[in-house]
Structure 1
Amino acid sequence: MIPESHPRYESLLTRELIVEGIRNGITSMQGLIAQGRGEAFDYLIGEKTSTCALQAERVTAAMLLLAKRPVISVNGNVAALVPGEIIRLSDIVNAPLEVNLFYRTEERINRIIECLRSLGAKKMYTKSDGLIPGLEHERAKVDTDGIFNADVVLVPLEDGDRCKALVEMGKSVIAIDLNPLSRTAQCAGITIVDNITRAIPNISKFAEELKDSEKDELLRIIREFDNKKNLNNSIKEIITYLSNHGNLMPP
């Protein structure tokens, strides 16, 4: 039992969620490594949502609301960390969920689907009858009615090569990645440099605020966003944080 008074409470809690995901057959062992890498970058932004991230999260909400065929991609870490939150976002923006794994087994796929459905997910693509061109690993397998034909894809905790392949298919790709220098972050059309545990609820909040907005207003929000500029500002925010708190980093 982790006491809430522990200075690393939130971080330790997310680690336990990943470990529990492994026990339940949802998360891969490699997911622990990915979680640790992300946690390290979260330290660099002070473990809080930056101004740049908030801007990207608001634009993401507008993009999902405008999309004709939006899909939210779910992997093992996403299912372990934010299952309820991702379902809520799916409902708000009418974007079905699709499970997609690098370390794919049918057992893991089915366990994640069962987990999401047990928590109330109703809109899901579950086939694997299509292949993303240019990929030779398991993440190439997608549902032809889902990610394959989507116009907008939200890809939390994504692989850089699949992000690039989705962009080359002509899709608008939104990534959540704590590393602003990663292939995924640099390739996506919208990059949210934030912890997924904060990002998904923030996107849902903005979607609720914007859902009754006129189409022209949503288009304006998207049009005024510059992802490269936002990424550069995200890096500057990291540098500023380190300059101000370099000797106070968490252990």
Structure 2
Amino acid sequence: MTHTTHRILVTGSADGLGRAAAQSLLSAGHEVVVHARNRKRAADLGPLLEQGAGIVVGDFADRDAVRRIAEELNAAQPLHAVIHNAGVWSGPAVMPVNIVAPYLLTALLPAPRRLVYLSSGSHFGGHPHSSLAGIDWRGEHAGSYADSKLFVTALAAAVARLRSGVMSNAVDPGWVPTRMGGPNAPDDLELGHRTQEWLASSDDPQALTSGGYWYHRQRQEPHEAVHDHVFQDRLLQALAHETGVRL
């Protein structure tokens, strides 16, 4: 059961799992900041704004937009938690949106004590032994979705290791029937957003842990590279070099 009201950012909340999480958290009495890629998408969030949600707008494929959003958030009331929900399945924006933006926000937002990163069962198909220097971080070509999800899962574990006092976890929401997942996806849409809400807001002792990879509130074992400190450090170094921002 949640006992405390928190201020929580949910990225990628114009539809799908992000919108469901934002709506649920608002209904539970939390202060929620929603995020949309552009003004057109932001207009779809009107019902949540009418319920009191705040909003930030910016394309996570654009690093300057991510930096501007971070500045805007740092100038406002401190965030207690961030649910890094925004993601794309294919195309040039895979790496910029799925890993570079979460890394930048993590590096530029020092206040949140709870960080939840959306992973995927696809991360097991990622390639940790590929040269990180050869990754298309800027999205000039299509990147591997599986690689991006392996990287963001490893980022969650690295933050848990390196940031004392921060609870950082990754969540596999399952293959759910969202716009990205498609109408025939077999997993439960309701269960798909509950775990990240729980980790971001609950006082349940299990939720007050760090470094986990979760599926429907059950802690699972991720790809073996996720908890490899050498791989984590290589990933962080590559992202720091690419963005000019160290974690």
Q: Shorter-chain TM-score: what band?
A: 0.3 to 0.5
TM-score between both structures, scaled by the size of structure 2: 0.46
TM-score between both structures, scaled by the size of structure 1: 0.45
More helix by share: 1
Kindly name which structure, 1 or 2, has the bigger radius of gyration based on alpha carbons.
1
